[in-house]
Structure 1
């Protein structure tokens, strides 16, 4: 079954199609219902939950009167409000990151470029602990451990029966910057090499310093695709916020950037060899 996040996106997409079929302007619809334009935009993008009463208002405004059609919309609305597995982690998961975890859970393909750190889905527990502690210096040990547990739990998608295709490009700085001590960093790099070797759904490339200026200077991002809903989602993250877009032109630009990064990066097999070589350097 799809996660609540993906169900919200499906619901929002259907509501957006309804509005477009009525040739109604989003700003005018929001004003007519006493909402802000941003609220309607976030509903149609699937980034926020929709109350059944608000769904009913939208349907009435769009002139949907078929009892069966109303029932289907309200049923989807209820399903989209259910809690995902990640809600058990409470405040360990920031509000702005919840949508991403939901998308990640249901994605069939994920491509990501990371210029500063190993992607969360490929981090070892020790590496994750050091990263989370560094980024949250005032948190208690208990809070840090909850965040580490959440990150490890997210990785289950790579081991399930129908794992997503996961293609990661990491900048050379990621493998050169020591996170923790030498053995910890060596273990992380060996883990990356092992995952790329043993998991047919995982591909890793390293973007070398020698590539010079490239298509994503200083900007990490991910693009997630799904099997049961059309379109992809492009995601980028800052320290305390995130940006999502599913506009075809913007998603296409992210996908084109990733293709350019692939061309500038070391080929997968040679990247794995390089990861193991640098791991040996950390152990000496």
Structure 2
């Protein structure tokens, strides 16, 4: 994947179908150019469909499937049905007036992942934030934004959190610097409520929270926060998300992802064990 500053975010299903089209093309022994000629379009159009950079035009999909050797009409109809579903905007589309394009891809990946691992040195991750803490973080990061825009973003963050209470939630495994809990955001009352929320989260069976204490010294990811998404679908590789002030980078190349995974594994070994997190949080809360 690449720098995501513009362009609509694909649904995860569209990513999967693009990968399936790629596999069918390669099995048929056709190049991008040859597939493009079959559609009377440029090779770039085929490539962009496979990379989920554009919507899946149904006539194109039907013709490509036949060109690639899919002859059973039931298989074609099933694929086309999925393509129609994949072209529907995700639930987050309702927030398109305030949601940056580069972050909408994050929401799409987050919603379909079976495992979400993260390192956070600055803030409590969005899935675990209280409403008051979220508002304080948003205001700090967007000091000139109208209040209405901040309220919309806070509502989006709250809706994302329903992911943790659905019937089959993902595993959320976070390593969080002690700095996050020592930085006063929103005042003592807000911070106490936020720590209470984290204590509650430690009791959730699919949440694993580890704290990296100051005393642990340097660690492999001191350069900044990142997320790693893993999916139950074999077509999708692990994806790393790394955010900057004005955009984000999404990485899915195996060697690059492996570097992030190794760093996070080392950090998990270096951080305080998850079973001690509740006690540590309680101690910090008393100090606030």
**TM-score, scaled to structure 1:** 0.86
SS in 1 for 2:109: helix
Structure 1 residue 55 corresponds to structure 2 residue 61: yes
Shift of 1:246: 2.9
Shift of 1:178: 1.1
Structure 1 residue 85 corresponds to structure 2 residue 85: no
Shift of 1:259: 0.7
Shift of 1:251: 2.6
Shift of 1:8: 0.9
The 5-angstrom pairing of residues 6-25 of structure 1 reads: 6-25=12-31
Structure 1 residue 76 corresponds to structure 2 residue 79: no
> 1:59 touches 1:70 (CA, 8 Å); kept in 2?
yes
SS in 2 for 1:91: coil
Tell me the equivalent position of 2:213: 208
Structure 1 residue 245 corresponds to structure 2 residue 251: yes
Shift of 1:33: 3.3
SS in 2 for 1:236: strand
Structure 1 residue 34 corresponds to structure 2 residue 30: no
Taking the aligned partners of 2:34 and 2:266, their CA distance within structure 1 comes to 40
The 5-angstrom pairing of residues 1-284 of structure 1 reads: 5-25=11-31, 33-34=41-42, 36=44, 43-46=49-52, 48-56=54-62, 58-59=64-65, 62=68, 64=70, 66-196=72-202, 198-230=203-235, 231-282=237-288
Q: 1:241 to 1:225 in 2, by over 3 A?
A: same
- Does 122-131 or 44-53 show the bigger shift? 44-53
SS in 2 for 1:222: strand
Taking the aligned partners of 2:131 and 2:70, their CA distance within structure 1 comes to 51
> 2:114 touches 2:169 (CA, 8 Å); kept in 1?
yes
For CA contacts below 8 A with separation 6 or more, give which structure has more relative contact order. 2
Q: 1:42 to 1:99 in 2, by over 3 A?
A: farther
Shift of 1:27: 7.7
SS in 2 for 1:93: coil
Deviations 1:23-52 (A, max 9, x none): 44558867983254xx65554344553232
Taking the aligned partners of 1:253 and 1:13, their CA distance within structure 2 comes to 24
Q: 1:277 to 1:144 in 2, by over 3 A?
A: same
- Does 129-138 or 70-79 show the bigger shift? 70-79
- Does 67-76 or 140-149 show the bigger shift? 67-76
Structure 2: any 5+ residue segments left out of the alignment? 1-9
Taking the aligned partners of 1:58 and 1:81, their CA distance within structure 2 comes to 17
SS in 2 for 1:92: coil
Structure 1: any 5+ residue segments left out of the alignment? none
Deviations 1:69-94 (A, max 9, x none): 43333222111011222222222222
Deviations 1:124-155 (A, max 9, x none): 10110011111112211111001001101100
- CA RMSD of superposed structures (Å): 2.5
Shift of 1:54: 4.2
Shift of 1:186: 1.8
Tell me the equivalent position of 2:6: none
